[in-house]
Amino acid sequence: MTENPYQPVLATIEKIKVEVTGERAIKTFKLVMQDKKIQKEFNFVPGQCVMISRLGKGESMFAISSSSTEKDYLEVSVMKQGINTSALHETEVGDTVGVRGPYGNHFDVEGWKNKNIVFIGGGIGMAPLRSIANYTLADKNRDQYGNLDIIYGARTSNDLCFKDEFAELQKREDVNVHLSIDVVEEGWEEFVGFVPSNLLRVKPPSKNTIAITCGPPIMIKFVIQNLLELGFKDEQIFTTLEMRMKCGVGICGRCNIGNLYVCKDGPVFSNAQLKNLEGDL
Amino acid sequence: MESLIISKEKFPEIINTIVKSYRLFAPTEENGFSGFNIIKDYSEMDLSYLNSRMPPKAILFNQTETLFLMEPGTKGTIKPKEIRNEKTAIFAIRPCDAKGFRILDTVFFGDVVDPLYKANRDNSVLIGLSCNQPDSSCFCTSFGDSPASGKYVDILFTDIEENYLVEVMTEKGKDFINDFSRFFSPASSKEIEAKNAKEQEAIGLIKRNLKVEGIEEKMDKMFDHPIWEEYAKKCIGCGACTYLCMTCRCFDMLDEGTLDKGARIRVWDSCMFPEYTIHTSGHNPRPARMNRVRNRFYCKYSYFPKNSDVIACTGCGRCIRYCPVNIDIIELMNRVSEMEL
């Protein structure tokens, strides 16, 4: 039989971590392919995406949030929003989901060696950035990159993803974590304000630096503006976009921005590319 | 290329022979329109219409199709779908629609091959029928094609009064003809000339022309032009143009089923609908009808040329004929073509 690109493989949920509770609940699912051979051959690069399906409830595209240095599993961080994501939030450890992918292009982790990297995330937009951040921070990779800065914010302290991981990273000497929340909260000791403002406060030097940003469209817009103000060139700024997707392989048509399909030509775009791209974002 | 003839007297017999070993799709009358359906007997066929209302893309790219089967749920499983390989012939497909398949091929046989479309395509013989009487909405000649073109079919039939001239265009067509060779005899130069005369006559009947030259470059500079809003004001967003378009192939994927049995299916979708692009967050990159109308024309006349080196329009005229508010792609594109920028 011909390989069917629409048919997922089965994976087992090994672990579920509650990242955010409440209205904008986020959980991170650790998935292991049921077929050991498929898991072994599942290679991806940070920035790539997977289609995850609670069988019977549909399928949605997620950025892989774990690092590709972890070979035995993959993680996706899912905000409870629609039918499939709500059903995923109701699953338990040991349950089965469908997985297709990996899809799309990726961050240029090879080309960015010996450079400083600043990660600028907002809300659930931290998910793809966590993949590359953990990749560069992995023991075997850390010395191949320069300074690493993580600028991350959410509406409230409850809405911050990966809180425990940031707490660990804040103890490390080889990475700087700058967290923020949008409005004042009792007991919050870090920056209060929007992510683009925190970026201006941190002022990462642009020399030999790559900036990667992901978050709500409005945040990305002002982050890019501020990066340009800080002296970053369009070629140094990268973002990862999302669109409604179905097939994941450039056939079903809906995720286009101009003549490019986010599922296969993206999701990672440089600002130089975005500037020349006319389309509905 | 081999040229043969078959007399109209023998024609019913060959059709009734083909149906014994092939799933034969041919135009039939349905509710006052023509539509491609599987026929079992010559008498069901109706060639009196210029073309079917629904495009024959539906034969190879089904409007609703199962992608795989599943047992739904948190302990679910997946069962592959058996891909059927049925010998299929499509008779009296018009040259424009046959070209439509060639355009669909660029998407379904792109970086990733769609196995369902491929199986259907591989198992189908396209037997074209030249248009001797194109109508006022036809414009295949705008793209350098002809209403009697054999370029995109395996076999081309042309009605030359007492006989059909039969041109065998591909190896697949040759194999097909060989199975039914007793019905055919070699064509004389007179009969070949008769076809050429019919073709010239038909070309002469096509009065409208879409000026394709330079359109892609023009559109590169027209994304924010008010012309899209002007046409969007007229559009009611019904999506008929996309469903009837031979080259539109957008689809949705969804899960259907009961508690213990299910399937992921795909169904045709349309970029004319706001739900098509809306994100779960509520953000919609194409919130206004203008965005959607613009996308449709850009898809055909800018994005396809950029990605597949072909305009995704064959000049079949369906979107003009059936648009409830008379949006005319020729008129629009000619305005684009002549735009002073």
Tell me the β-bridge partners of B159.
Answer: B164
Min CA distance, A132 vs chain B (Å)?
A: 24
Q: How confident is the model at residue B288 (pLDDT cuts 50, 70, 90)?
A: very high
Residues of B in contact with A81 (CB under 8 A): 280-281
Contact by Cβ (8 Å): B156, B132: no
10-residue averages of pLDDT along chain A (281 residues): 84 98 96 96 97 97 97 97 96 98 97 98 97 97 97 97 96 96 96 97 97 94 97 97 95 95 96 90 83
Same domain (yes/no): B172, B37 = yes
Counting the structural domains of chain B, the total is: 2
Give the pLDDT of residue B84: 84
Estimate the crossing angle of helix A195-202 against helix A217-229, to 10 degrees. 20
Tell me the β-bridge partners of B160.
Answer: B163
Distances from the Cα of A36 to the Cαs of A16, A33, A64, A76, in angstroms?
20, 6, 19, 19
Min CA distance, A95 vs chain B (Å)?
A: 5
Option in B114, B254, B286 nearest A251 (CB): B114
Same domain (yes/no): B156, B262 = no
* pLDDT tens track for B118-134: 999 999 999 999 999 99
Estimate the crossing angle of helix B227-234 against helix B289-298, to 10 degrees. 110
CB-CB under 8 Å, B81 with A4? yes
Same domain (yes/no): B159, B89 = yes
Same domain (yes/no): B181, B227 = no
* pLDDT tens track for B239-256: 999 999 999 999 999 999
Same domain (yes/no): B158, B233 = no
Question: Which residues are CB-neighbours of A17 under 8 A, at least 6 positions away?
Answer: A27, A28, A30
Instruction: Kindly state whether A144 is in contact with chain B, defined as any CB-CB distance less than 8 angstroms.
Output: no
Domains, chain A, ordered by start: 9-102 (2.40.30.10), 116-209 (3.40.50.80)
Burial level of B329, CB count in 10 A (0-12/13-18/19+)? buried
Q: Which two tokens stand for residue B335?
A: 């305005």
Q: What's the whole-number average pLDDT of chain B?
A: 96
Torsion of CA B192, B197, B201, B202, to 10 degrees: 10
Give the pLDDT of residue A1: 37
Q: What is the identity of the amino acid at A153?
A: G
Binding-face residues of A in 79-138 toward B, CB within 8 A: 81-82, 85, 91-92, 95-96, 98
Same domain (yes/no): B99, B172 = yes
Give the pLDDT of residue A3: 86
Give the pLDDT of residue B148: 97
Residues of B in contact with A58 (CB under 8 A): 253-255
Q: How many residue pairs bridge chain A and chain B with CB atoms within 8 Å of each other?
A: 142
What 3-state class would DSSP assign to B199?
A: helix
Residues of A in contact with B107 (CB under 8 A): 250-251
Tell me the β-bridge partners of A10.
Answer: A98
Give the pLDDT of residue B258: 86
Same domain (yes/no): B248, B195 = no
* Last-in-domain residue among B205, B227, B256: B205
CB-CB under 8 Å, B255 with A96? no
Same domain (yes/no): B180, B264 = no
Residue B75 lies in a domain: yes
CB-CB under 8 Å, B266 with A252? yes
Give the pLDDT of residue B34: 97
Q: How confident is the model at residue B266 (pLDDT cuts 50, 70, 90)?
A: very high
Min CA distance, B216 vs chain A (Å)?
A: 12
Closest CA to B183 of B162, B166, B159: B166
Same domain (yes/no): B201, B220 = no
Residue B11 lies in a domain: yes
* ipTM of this complex: 0.92
Residue B108 lies in a domain: yes
Residues of B in contact with A3 (CB under 8 A): 115
* Last-in-domain residue among B174, B205, B236: B205
Average pLDDT rounded to a whole number, residues B142-151: 97
Share of chain B above pLDDT 90, in %: 96
Residue in B113, B229, B255, B310 to test binding to A, most A beta-carbons within 10 Å: B255
Instruction: Kindly state whether A22 is in contact with chain B, defined as any CB-CB distance less than 8 angstroms.
Output: no
pTM beyond 0.90, yes or no: yes
Average pLDDT rounded to a whole number, residues B6-14: 95
The helix or strand, by DSSP H or E, that contains position B99, with its residue range, turns out to be helix B95-108
Residue B150 lies in a domain: yes
Residue B210 lies in a domain: no
What are the DSSP calls for B241-257, one per residue?
HHHH-SS---EEEEEEE
Option in A8, A250, A256 nearest B110 (CB): A250
* Last-in-domain residue among B205, B225, B252: B205
Same domain (yes/no): B118, B192 = yes
Domain enclosing residue B265, as ranges: 215-338
Same domain (yes/no): B198, B230 = no
Q: What is the identity of the amino acid at A76?
A: V
Distances from the Cα of B67 to the Cαs of A197, B13, B115, B252, B275, in angstroms?
47, 38, 10, 11, 22
Same domain (yes/no): B240, B177 = no
